[in-house]
Amino acid sequence: MNSLKYIVFVIIFSGLVTSVMAQQVKKAKAGTFILKSGTVHTITKGSFSGDVIIREGLIVEVGQELPIPEEAIVVECSGKHIYPGFIDGGTKLGLNEIDAVSVTNDYRENGSFNPHMKALSAINPNAVAIPVTRVNGVTTVFSKPEGSMFPGTGALIDLFGYSPDYMSTGSEGLIMRFPSSGKRGRWDRRSDEDIRKDFDKALKAVNEAIESAMQYSRMDSLAESQGELWVRNNAPLDALLPVVRGEAPLFIEVNKKEDIVGALQWSKKYQITPVLMGVAEGWRVVDSLVKYNVPVITGPVIALPGRNHDRYDVAYKNAGIMAHAGVKVALRTDDGANTRNLPFHAGFAVAYGMSMEDALKSVTINSAEIFGVADKYGSIEKGKVANIFVTNGDPFETKTKIERLFIRGWDIPLESRQTLLYDEFLERNPR
Amino acid sequence: MFIFFTGKVPLLSQDVVIKNGTVLTVTKGTWPETDIWIEAGKIKALGQGLKVPENIKVIDATGKYVMPGIIDAHSHIALDVVNEMASPVTAEVSVGDALNPFDISIYRALAGGVTASHAMHGSANAIGGQCETIKHRYGTHNPDELRMVGAPRTIKFALGENPIRVHGEGKKIVPNTRMGVEQVFRESFNEARVYMRQWDDYRQKKTAVPPSYNLRLETLADILKGEIIIHCHSYRADEILMLMNVLRDFGVNKVCFQHVNEGFKIAPELAEFGATASVFADWWAYKFEVYYSTAYNAAILTRNGVVTSINSDSGDYIRHLYHQAGKSQRYGDLTDDEALALITINPAIQLGIEKRVGSIEVGKDADIAIFSGHPLSIYTIPQMTLVDGIVRFDKDSDEDDMRIDVDLQEEYSQYVEQQNNDHESEGCLYGVTEWLLQTDYAQFMRFKFMKNHQH
């Protein structure tokens, strides 16, 4: 009798717990998994029908008819497709919660010389948009500060974890916004001459910043070689050191045709290794991009043309034109809450001329290479981080469903607040 | 100096047959290898291997998909101005007085298969201005030719943060809360009732002097008489229920809730009232009142019997509503016809124009979009768009520059970058953000903000 009471109690109590917890996403599960008999899209080594074994966060085997490890959970994938997690090359995810509520946004610091502002310090692992994003197969994003000149240092993070340090892939990127010679908006009533003056002034400020960093670098090196007492005490210049020493690329946000060329020449002048971001008018200066052999992170693809006289579809075509010319292209949404749409941006790029192969690379291995983590990310290969999703079809197609998701080898439930609201309200009770 | 450009757009109606396409009628199923015969801007016949006059213009749609022209129930394109924000009630104004046929957005919408849109007043006021249902007859220089003559009158209402920010916070008047928003409606409708009564009394010779004519009250009276469809900017479940209560009290039943991000929470109430819903496919989190959103909204509303559409509220999104509709299949498994209805017959119902457009049926206007593949596929490309049987967009003869009114000074604008990422600035609050920044209020708020944060 007592035990029956106990059982009843347990049932009621567990029911209570479930309903109280209903607003939280279920826990991820660890373990050894074998994804069995799916079409494995490795990205770097072709596609084939086979298996993938995940253990301790890593991809430990990729092949055909692999023996099933004793402890492994079998995930039947016949008829399904297995892809490496998609990487978004530029977002605000984790740094913003609600656009119009300024106190929930941490991507724009005051001032314009902020290379030392670190996105990783402000990433909120519990941002509601993170589960919303990853259930669409986007497992990794570059979250970046925004603003003028040097807005800060972005962080490449995996979309699972309870601390920024855990989520970090170890890759960060210093961002610069190249001065724009375009209009700021429809309300921008500056004369052409004023725009030029402002541009020159902004460029001068950037040059001074870089030259200061170079000087600082020389002092730092000299002090070290002479064994002199020297304490690095300038946080912004410290942050610029790897860039001016050629040890890390500079991620330069630039969009207008003339400015893209300007940014390339500027980088050469200061012997800085650039990665261009945005590059909305890359299609207009694709020869320069090829000549300078510069990688680009472009997007959003689903976007308006930058000039009213442009064809309606230039933004759709831009990524494909650059990739076709041989530029290494990665995609970004440049979004926050709707970073989940990255696969659709890639799909539009394909519809408007990018090859399927280039498009897949642009959201996987190309991004991994640009962020210097291609040894760990961007493809399904033995030894890489187990960021993987399984679909019932083409990953860019709108109606395709993501059926399984692994990040760092964790089996992630396909839940977000948006799916929970669906579950609760589809058939409301009481009506 | 202006250069007028009309491209290859023929300006006269022409009889035409669209041959051998897969025809997605939306209301009557999908017809393979079917011809559509268009005469004088209307669909004359529909069928396989139609016998048509010899000299008729032929559009070969073999291997292509033909669907009704897409309709956007919420847009601000083709307008010179969107918000008259001088008062919380501006029923007397009409965006129809500010139509701009030169707006390149009209052409871009055509290039996304969109043939008609609801050019709306903004959401700055609880009772905003009257809207205009337009057809995308791009190429005309005459604003009047954009109007869809005969379409029912519509008016913009707005709940929540926008009227509160503009009037309550901005001007220190009512409404500064959702309580205040309710009373703006009740007060306005009461005033209109009194006004109607005064006219009735005068007409029945109970009074000798007529009341003074008041266009604002005339418009409100027309709403009470059921002659105007309300399209109400709204987000939260509570405020939507509030407006339905108000409308019930005043005997008004023609209402379409716009955006209605929390519509999914009260789908049974919306269905019972007979209210319709025009939603975003997946926009959320751009302000607090859309934080508890779900991309499954359209599916939940549809499954609960609410006539639902997907709108753009954007010069960008209007170009790929077919893709936005497709998202209802990822988020909620709508069928092809249900998903297509979200951007065709359902918005037509919401605008009261469903007898003329929104499906491919004999007798309806020949507003038609031709796609390379199924329009719900990410890989489809709009090929050709006809409005009243006239080809207004043809991918194969799309020039580099399709503007009618050419600005030779135009430069690349960072504004587009902002626009691509900042939804509200280009939609309902068009013009308002600028205004808020220009006012003393903005400076006051900045000062207050700094002060608060020093402690």
Q: Provide the 8-state DSSP code for B146.
A: G
Residue B455, pLDDT score: 36
Give the closest of B294, B410, B434 to A421, CB-based. Answer: B294
Question: Is the Cβ of A340 closer than 8 Å to some Cβ of chain B?
Answer: yes
- DSSP class per residue in B201-247: HHHTTS-SSPPPP-HHHHHHHHHHTT-EEEEEEE--HHHHHHHHHHH
Contact at 8 Å (CB) between A169 and B402? no
CA distance B14 to chain A (A): 26
Mean pLDDT score, A390-398 = 98
pTM beyond 0.90: yes
Tokens of A314: 């230039």
Inter-chain CB proximity B414 and A182 less than 8 Å: yes
Mean pLDDT score, A172-179 = 97
Residue B237 has pLDDT above 50, yes or no: yes
Residue B451 has pLDDT above 50, yes or no: no
Per-residue buried b or exposed e for A136-149, using 16+ beta carbons within 10 Å of the residue's own CB? bbbbbbbbbbbbbb
- Taking only residues 18 to 77 of chain A, the set having a beta carbon closer than 8 angstroms to any beta carbon of chain B reads none
Compute the count of residue pairs across chains A and B with CB atoms less than 8 Å apart. Answer: 180
Contact at 8 Å (CB) between A39 and A62? no
Pick the residue from chain B with its C-alpha nearest to A400: B330
CA distances to A217, B18, B19, B20 from B57, in Å: 72, 9, 10, 14
Inter-chain CB proximity A397 and B377 less than 8 Å: yes
B206: burial class by Cβ within 10 Å (0-12, 13-18, 19+)? exposed
Q: Can you give the C-alpha Rg of chain A in angstroms?
A: 24
Interval A284-298: pLDDT, tens: 999 999 999 999 999
CA distances to A342, B323, B325, B345 from A398, in Å: 11, 7, 9, 21
Interval B376-425: pLDDT, tens: 999 999 999 999 999 999 999 999 899 998 877 677 776 666 655 555 44
Asked which of A167-176, A379-388, B12-21, B164-173 is least confident by mean pLDDT, the reply is B12-21
Q: Provide the 8-state DSSP code for B151.
A: P
Interval A296-328: pLDDT, tens: 999 999 999 989 899 999 999 999 999 999 999
Quickly count helices (H) and strands (E) in chain A: 13, 16
B416 interaction partners in chain A (CB closer than 8 Å): 280, 303-306
Inter-chain CB proximity B296 and A313 less than 8 Å: no
Interval B250-278: pLDDT, tens: 999 999 999 999 999 999 999 999 999 99
Interval A408-418: pLDDT, tens: 999 999 999 99
Nearest to B231 by CA among B112, B133, B350: B350
CA distances to A354, B74, B293, B348, B357 from B352, in Å: 41, 14, 28, 6, 10
Contact at 8 Å (CB) between A143 and A371? no
% of residues, chain A, pLDDT over 70:
94
Mean pLDDT across chain A: 93
Residue B449, pLDDT score: 39
A312 interaction partners in chain B (CB closer than 8 Å): 107-108, 111, 319, 398, 402
Residue with tokens 């740094």: A95
CA distances to A368, B69, B360 from B345, in Å: 45, 10, 10
ipTM: 0.93
